[in-house]
Structure 1
Amino acid sequence: MDLAYDYPLYRPPSESRSLIFQVTLGCSFNKCSFCDMYRTKEYSERSLDEIFKEIELMAKYFPHTRRVFLADGDAMNLDTEKLISIIAKIKGSFQSIERISSYSMPKNLLEKSPNELKSLKAVGLDMVYLGIESGNDKILKKVTKGATSNMIIESCMKAKDAEFTLSCMIILGLGGKTHTIDHARDTAKVIGSISPNYVGALTLYMEPNIEKEFYEKFREPFLPLEDSEVLDELYRMISDMHLKNSLIFRANHASNVYAIGGTLPDDKKEILQKIMHLKNHPELFKPKVLRRF
Structure 2
Amino acid sequence: MRYDGPIYRPPSEADSLLVQATVGCPHNKCSFCMTYKKGPPFRVRPVAEIVQDLREAREELGPGVRTLFFPAGDSLAMPTGDLAAICAEGRKLFPHLERITVYAGMKSILKHGPQGLRRLREAGLQRLHVGLETGHDPTLLRVKKGVTSAQQIEAGRLALEAGLELSLYVVLGLAGPEESQAHARATAWVVNAINQAGTLSLRLRTLLPKINTLLLHQLNKGRFTLCTPQQTIAEAGLIIAGLTGPLSLHSDHYTNHLNLRGSLPKDRELLLAQVEEARCLPRDAFRRDFVGTQ
TM-score range, shorter chain: over 0.9
Q: How many residues align?
A: 287
Name whichever of 36-45 and 160-169 sits farther off. 36-45
The DSSP-based 3-state class of the residue aligned with 2:19 is strand
Residue of structure 2 equivalent to 1:248: 248
Tell me, in whole angstroms, the C-alpha distance in 2 between the residues paired with 1:265 and 1:292.
38
- Determine if contact 2:173/2:226 at 8 Å carries over to the other structure: yes
Within 1, Cα distance between the matches of 2:180 and 2:222? 14
Paired with 1:46 and 1:154, the residues of 2 have a C-alpha distance of 28
- Residue 210 of structure 2 contacts residue 216 of structure 2 at CA under 8 Å; is this kept in 1? no
- Cα deviation, residue 292, structure 1: 8.9
Alignment of 1:78-117 (within 5 A): 78-117=78-117
- What is the TM-score normalised by the length of structure 2? 0.92
Letter in 1 for 2:48: D
Q: Displacement of 1:194 after TM fit?
A: 1.5
Distance 2:251 2:215 in 1: 27
Deviates more, 1:146-155 or 1:246-255: 246-255
- How much does 1:5 deviate? 2.0
1:187 aligns with 187
- AA of the residue aligned to 1:263: S
Contact map agreement 1:255 1:292 (CA 8 A) in 2: no
Shift of 1:4: 3.1
Structure 2 SS opposite 1:33: coil
Aligned to 2:140: 140
- CA displacement, residues 201-221 of structure 1 (integer Å, 9 cap, x when unaligned): 1001121221556629xx983
* 2:25 alignment counterpart: 27
- Distance (whole Å) between structure 1 residues aligned to residue 213 and residue 289 of structure 2: 19
Partner of 2:223: 221
Query: Quick one: distance in 1 between partners of 2:178 and 2:286?
Result: 23
State the percentage of identical aligned residues: 31
Contact 1:278 / 1:285 at 8 angstroms: preserved in 2? no
Indicate the residue corresponding to 2:122 in structure 1.
122
Which aligned runs of 4 or more in structure 1 are off by greater than 6 angstroms? none
Q: Work out whether residues 31 and 215 of structure 2, in 8 Å CA contact, stay in contact via their aligned partners in 1.
A: no
- For 2:187 and 2:35, how far apart are their aligned partners in 1? 23
Q: What TM-score, normalized by structure 1, do the two folds share?
A: 0.92
Aligned-residue RMSD, C-alpha: 2.1
Give the conservation status (yes or no) of the 8 Å contact 1:205–1:292. no
- The CA deviation string for residues 144-203 of structure 1, in whole angstroms up to 9 with x for no partner, is 000000000000000001010111000000000111111011001011111241000100
Q: Distance in 1 between matches of 2:45 and 2:257?
A: 38
CA offsets, 1:237-277, max 9 Å, x none? 2112223xx11101231111121111111101000101111
Structure 1 CA distance, aligned partners of 2:100 and 2:47? 17
Shift of 1:286: 3.7
Specify the code of the residue in structure 2 equivalent to 1:54. D
Structure 2 distance, partners of 1:179, 1:204, is 14
SS at structure 2 position matched to 1:112: helix
Task: Provide the residue aligned with 1:203 in structure 2.
Answer: 206
Aligned to 1:10: 8
Q: Matched residues in 2 for 1:130 and 1:277: separation?
A: 30
Amino acid at match of 1:208: I
Q: Deviation of residue 288 (structure 1)?
A: 4.5
Residue segments in structure 2 that go unaligned for 5+ positions in a row: none
Paired residues of 1:66 and 1:99 also in contact (CA < 8 A): yes
- Quote the residue 2:239 is aligned against: 237
